[in-house]
Amino acid sequence: MPEGHTVHRLAAEHQRMFGGRRVAASSPQGRFAEGAARVDGRVLVEADAHGKHLLVRFDDERTLHVHLGIYGKYVFGAVPAPEPVGAVRLRLAGAAGFADLRGPNACELLEPGDVKVLRDRLGPDPLRADGDPEVAWRRVGRARTPIAVLLMDQSVVAGPGNIYRAEVLFRRGIDPRLPGRRLTREQWAGIWDDLVVLMAAGVRAGRIDTVRPEHMPEAMGRPPRVDGHGGEVYVYRRAGLPCLVCGSEVRTVELAARNLFWCPGCQPSAV
DNA sequence: TATAGATGAGAAT
DNA sequence: TTCTCCTCTATAG
């Protein structure tokens, strides 16, 4: 489930499993054979995340950069690692376990300068201690672009994806199509603070839960919902179902090539 | 068994 | 805007 919280978990898992240790690297699928050969036998110095980008630094100062995209996935396991199954782009293995990477959007080795270039084009990350909401507000507060699109733009805010953007706008009662410049500073602060809370909870739980206890289906006398992405949410992929708060029918529309979900009752039109 | 769709993003048009 | 990358899962038949 690759939104930012997932990648921060992956960084922590890399750190725990491989940090300060020598690793064996291979590309069973073959598409990262050259890069894996360069990493093979190196000490993994530090694993870090900025938004949806995983950055793993080795003792030659090169950094492995992984972006999962929609499809990418990591599987961790205990050693001895079994024979790789399917298209494993990269396998790291150490004394404490192994990590298999499949289907990433990006898997490459970066020189130190490249890492700076990458990070410079990313906005602040609500999950990072250095994440500064003011930096994002400079973009948001001037944009004619709908806030729902701005929240998916990783150069504005790094980390949130389609689920968090839908859910945070619902929780703040904000019309997704409101242009950024028409938000108040307080509304932006509310969005940012809620992202910090929700995404930190996502890192801890390994899933996206955004529904307050009093709105859980059980508390409303309804059966619990089964949802593919693994968490309890207000509007994401709930089109046509009643809003957990006001009962209005949750709506969906395609916006900037992504599915947007919102509740017309709780997020009344402000455009 | 086949098909559509998905939590993303960069390039091409 | 549309295409393309790449893999897995849910759903339809």
Residue A185 and residue A183: Cα distance in Å, rounded? 6
Residue A44 and residue A263: Cα distance in Å, rounded? 46
Q: pLDDT at position A225, please?
A: 57
Q: Domain of residue A73: give its range.
A: 4-120
In a domain, A97, yes or no: yes
C1' of C2 to CA of A68 (Å) = 22
* Same-domain status, A92 and A194: no
Q: pLDDT at position A87, please?
A: 87
In a domain, A24, yes or no: yes
Give, in degrees to the nearest 5, the angle at Cα A54 between A50 and A59.
Answer: 110
Domain final position from A91, A120, A149: A120
Asked whether A46 and A15 are in contact (CB, 8 A), the reply is yes
* Same-domain status, A187 and A251: yes
A258 touches strand C (CB under 7 A): no
Q: pLDDT at position A12, please?
A: 96
In a domain, A270, yes or no: no
Domain final position from A98, A120, A142: A120
CB atoms within 10 A of CB A247: 10
* Same-domain status, A225 and A153: yes
Q: pLDDT at position A247, please?
A: 93
Q: Which residue has the tokens 């410049």?
A: A181
In a domain, A215, yes or no: yes
* Same-domain status, A188 and A104: no
**A256 SS3 class:** coil
pLDDT string in tens for chain A (271-residue length) = 589 999 999 999 999 999 999 999 999 988 999 999 999 999 999 999 999 999 999 999 999 999 999 889 999 999 898 888 888 999 999 999 999 999 999 999 999 899 999 999 999 999 999 999 999 999 999 999 999 999 999 999 999 999 999 999 999 999 999 999 999 999 999 999 999 999 999 999 999 999 999 998 777 766 655 455 568 899 999 999 999 999 999 999 988 888 999 999 999 998 7
Domain count, chain A: 2
* Same-domain status, A113 and A137: no
Asked whether A4 and A158 are in contact (CB, 8 A), the reply is yes
Nearest nt by C1' to A207 Cα: B7
**List of residues 6+ apart from A262 with CB closer than 8 A:** A166, A169, A170, A175, A176, A235, A250, A251
Q: Where are the beta strands (DSSP E) in chain A?
A: 24-26, 44-50, 53-58, 63-67, 73-77, 88-94, 97-102, 106-110, 251-255, 258-262
Q: Which residues touch strand B (CB under 7 A)?
A: A 1-3, 6, 51-52, 67, 69-71, 105, 152, 154, 161-163, 208, 228-230, 237, 257-259
CATH number of the CATH domain containing A150: 1.10.8.50
* Same-domain status, A77 and A143: no
Domain final position from A65, A87, A120: A120
Q: pLDDT at position A97, please?
A: 95
In a domain, A94, yes or no: yes
* Same-domain status, A11 and A103: yes
| Residues of A with active-site annotation | 2-3, 52, 258
Chain C bases near protein CB atoms (7 A cut-off): 2-3, 5-11
In a domain, A204, yes or no: yes
Q: pTM score, two decimals?
A: 0.94
Measure CA of the first residue to CA of the last residue in chain A; give whole Å.
32
In a domain, A271, yes or no: no
* Same-domain status, A214 and A251: yes
Q: pLDDT at position A227, please?
A: 53
